[in-house]
Each structure stands twice: as C-alpha cells, then as structure tokens.
Amino acid sequence: MTPVDVITGDSPLILAMPHSGLFVPENIFARFNDVGRELSDTDWHIDRLYDGLLHGVTMVRANFHRYVVDPNRDPSGVSLYPGKNTTGLCPRIDFDNTPIYRENQEPNAAEIEQRRITYHSPYHAALKAQIARVKSIHGLAVLYDCHSIRSQVPYLFEGALPDFNIGTNHGQTCAPVIQNSVAKSCAKAAGYSYVENGRFKGGWTTRHYGRPDDGVHAIQMELAQINYMDERAPWIYAPRRADNLRAVLKTILTTLETRILKGDIT
C-alpha cells in the first residue's frame, strides 16, 4: 500500500483528500476495540463524490485511515482548536469521545513519531510537490481541501452542522475573492445551508499551505454527510442525494477555476 495516490492535471486547482483512506496496518487494527474497527470517522465516499467534476484537476489522496495518523493535524500534536473538543494526531478516541483502542494498547510517543514519518510525511511531501508544480504552470495554486462529517456530532459541535462549511482561518489562507466565490456558489444552491469559518475554520493543511502573498491559496470544504450518504454503518452512498450535491460542487469548482483563469486572483 502506497501512503498516497496522486493524479496530476493542468488545472490551477488541487483537490486534497486526507480522510477518505481506509488502510490500517494489521498490527494496529488488531489493537483496536470494536468501536475503532468500525472506522466510523472516515470522510466516506469523498473521492467518489468529487470524481469527474472538474477536468484536469490534480488530486492528492491519502490511502491510510485517520486513526493511523491524521494528515490534517499539526505534526507537533498542537491542537488546532484550543479549548474545543477534537481528536489528535494519532487519535485515541472517536468523534463521540469513545476510546478506539483496547486497554493499554494505545500508541506511545515513539510509535506516533514512526507513524508520522511513514504516513503523514509522504502525504504532505506529495501535496507540497503538486502545489509547486501547479504554481510553476499558473503562477499560483489553489488548494481545495475536501472533507465530510456526520451532520450531528454532539461531542464536537451543538445541533446540526450546516451543509457546506467553508474554512479559511478567518480569511488568512486565501485571497478574499476565492472565499467569496465559493460562498456565493453555496448561497445560490437552493435547499442547502452554508457557513463561513464556523465550527470548522480549516485544519492544519489549510493553515499550513495557505500563503496568499506567496501565490498559494487554501480553502477547506467540510460537507455534512447527510446530503449524500447514510450516516450510519454500513455508510451507504445515496446516489440521488449525491447527484444533487455533486451538481453544486461542480458549480463551486468550475466557477472558481474560471475566475482563476480569467486573472481575478493574482
């Protein structure tokens, strides 16, 4: 198993998918309890949801599961959301605050570091390489970080999550025109709700790579899974709901790419 799959294209957009992978090494999976083995906190079907929406887009997808190591967390282990409930670099609990390991089977510091080297680092090396390549073609690169989560997760947030959750760390990770373009596309999508920099303001990927002054822009899109799948095991993809959502996502991506190619973003 290679840690990351890369599909290269000539678009100025890069789709990053850090949480859709399902691979867990046997020696780790054997230490999970029944909750951990469900792999519930996967960004289920994200690759299928975005597949074919934008011709020529580059895609960087992690193949390993976030329970092995989370590629959207700071490699130092520092929390992205101080004071709020979250999961760590090598999660010990799931999104419901339930342990995922059997008793006394959690990774120690040395193992966490080895997982970072084996999985986290190659994913980001690939992402960094594609950002550099795309920037060399267009003079800039726009990283669109693809995520999804159950619409209701009381441990992480109150109530129901909006359908589209745009994160730019309060506008720091991309030019205003990028955030505005995505937000306007969401606002025009009948029957859907959206928020900008709500509970999810962008993870480590968005915050680490988003350097607008250097020509690298990053934006995170967190989708409520209820709009394209069943939010319980076996996590079945719902084609009718998904097709409606895919139409909106296609508008978001094509509109954004058009603005980039027109020179609206410098």
What CATH number does the domain containing 129 carry?
3.40.630.40
Is residue 80 one of the residues assigned to a domain?
yes
Domain containing 146 equals 4-261
Is residue 222 one of the residues assigned to a domain?
yes
DSSP H/E element including 63: none
Least confident of 72-81, 231-240, 253-262: 72-81
Long-range CB contact pairs, 24-32, < 8 A, 24+: 24/64, 24/65, 24/67, 24/68, 25/68, 28/67, 28/68, 31/101, 31/102, 31/105, 32/67, 32/100, 32/101, 32/102, 32/105
Is residue 266 one of the residues assigned to a domain?
no
Q: What is the pTM of this model?
A: 0.96
Model confidence at 77: pLDDT above 90: no
List beta partners, residue 4.
62
Structure tokens at 255: 């509109």
Cα 143 from chain centre: 11
Is residue 82 one of the residues assigned to a domain?
yes
User: How does residue 231 score in pLDDT terms, banded at 50, 70 and 90?
Assistant: very high
Q: Could you tell me which residues come within 8 angstroms of residue 88 by beta carbon, excluding any fewer than 6 positions away?
A: 70, 73, 77, 79
Say if residues 158 and 199 touch (Cβ distance below 8 Å).
Answer: no
CB atoms within 10 A of CB 109: 9
Is residue 140 one of the residues assigned to a domain?
yes
Find the mean pLDDT for residues 10-15.
98
User: How does residue 266 score in pLDDT terms, banded at 50, 70 and 90?
Assistant: low
Is residue 53 one of the residues assigned to a domain?
yes
Share of the chain above pLDDT 70, in %: 100
Number of domains in the chain: 1
Distances from the Cα of 48 to the Cαs of 38, 65, 76, in angstroms? 20, 17, 31
The SS3 of residue 166 is strand
CB atoms within 10 A of CB 250: 15
CB atoms within 10 A of CB 239: 12
CA–CA gap between residue 49 and residue 90 (Å, rounded): 26
User: How does residue 85 score in pLDDT terms, banded at 50, 70 and 90?
Assistant: confident
Say if residues 137 and 13 touch (Cβ distance below 8 Å).
Answer: no
Average pLDDT, the chain: 96
